[in-house]
Amino acid sequence: MAEQKKLVAEITSMDEDFTQWYTDVVIKAGLIAYSHIKGFMVYKPAGYALWEAVQKHLDARFKAVGVENVYLPMMIPENLLSKESDLVNGFAPEVAWVTHGGQEELQERICVRPTSETLFSDFYKDEVQSYRDLPKNYNQWCSVVRWEKETRPFLRSREFMWQEGHTVHATMEEAIERTELMLDVYADFCAEDLAIPTIKGRKTDKEKFAGAIATYTIEALMHDGRALQSGTSHNFGDDFAKAYGIQFTDRDNKLKYAFQTSWGLSTRIIGALIMVHGDNSGLVLPPKIAPTQVMVIPIQQKKAGVLDKAREIKDMLSNFRVKVDETDKSPGFKFAEQEMRGIPLRVEIGPRDLAENKCVVVRRDTREKIACSIDELPQKVAELLPQIQQDMYDRAKKHLEEHTFDAPDKETFESLFEETRGFVKAMWCGSRECEEKIKEDYSVTSRCIPYKQEKLSDVCVCCGKPATKMVYWGRAY
- Decide if 89 is inside a domain: yes
Among 384, 417, 443, which residue terminates a domain?
384
Q: For residues 112 and 195, state if they share a domain.
A: yes
Q: CATH code at 454?
A: 3.30.110.30
Q: For residues 251 and 175, state if they share a domain.
A: yes
- Decide if 7 is inside a domain: no
Q: For residues 374 and 268, state if they share a domain.
A: no
Q: CATH code at 364?
A: 3.40.50.800
The answer to whether residues 390 and 398 touch, using CB atoms and an 8 Å cutoff, is no
Whether the ω angle into residue 135 lies within 30 degrees of 0, i.e. cis, is yes
Q: For residues 247 and 318, state if they share a domain.
A: no
Local confidence pLDDT in tens for the 477 residues of the chain = 444 455 555 899 999 999 999 999 999 999 999 999 999 999 999 999 999 999 999 999 999 999 999 999 999 999 998 887 777 777 888 999 999 999 999 999 999 999 999 999 999 999 999 999 999 999 999 999 999 988 999 999 999 999 999 999 999 999 999 999 999 999 999 999 999 999 999 999 999 998 899 999 999 999 999 999 999 999 999 999 999 999 999 999 999 999 999 999 999 999 999 999 999 999 999 999 999 999 999 998 889 999 999 999 999 999 999 999 999 999 999 999 999 999 999 999 999 999 999 999 999 999 999 999 999 999 999 999 999 999 999 999 999 999 999 999 999 999 999 999 999 999 999 999 999 999 999 999 999 999 999 999 999 999 999 999 999 999 999
What does DSSP assign to residue 133? G
DSSP result, 418-439: HH--SEEEEEE---HHHHHHHH
Q: For residues 324 and 409, state if they share a domain.
A: no
Give dist(CA 220, CA 277) in Å, integer: 12
- Decide if 389 is inside a domain: no
- Where residue 137 falls (left for φ over 0; alpha for ψ -120 to 50; beta otherwise) is beta
Q: For residues 163 and 68, state if they share a domain.
A: yes
Strand (E) or helix (H) holding 100:
strand 96-101
- Decide if 287 is inside a domain: no
- Decide if 282 is inside a domain: no
Q: For residues 328 and 421, state if they share a domain.
A: no
Task: Give the total number of structural domains in the chain.
Answer: 3
Tell me the residue ranges of DSSP E strands in 117-258: 136-145, 159-169, 199-202, 214-221, 227-237, 247-249, 255-257
Among 277, 308, 323, which residue terminates a domain?
277
Domain that holds residue 196: 12-277
Q: For residues 314 and 196, state if they share a domain.
A: no
Q: CATH code at 157?
A: 3.30.930.10
Q: For residues 370 and 424, state if they share a domain.
A: no
Q: For residues 180 and 141, state if they share a domain.
A: yes
Q: Burial, 381: exposed, middle or buried (Cβ in 10 Å; 0-12, 13-18, 19+)?
A: buried
Q: For residues 192 and 107, state if they share a domain.
A: yes
pLDDT given at position 73: 97
Q: For residues 177 and 237, state if they share a domain.
A: yes
- Decide if 283 is inside a domain: no
- Where residue 202 falls (left for φ over 0; alpha for ψ -120 to 50; beta otherwise) is beta
pLDDT given at position 86: 76
Among 222, 249, 277, which residue terminates a domain?
277
For 270, the 3-state DSSP assignment is helix
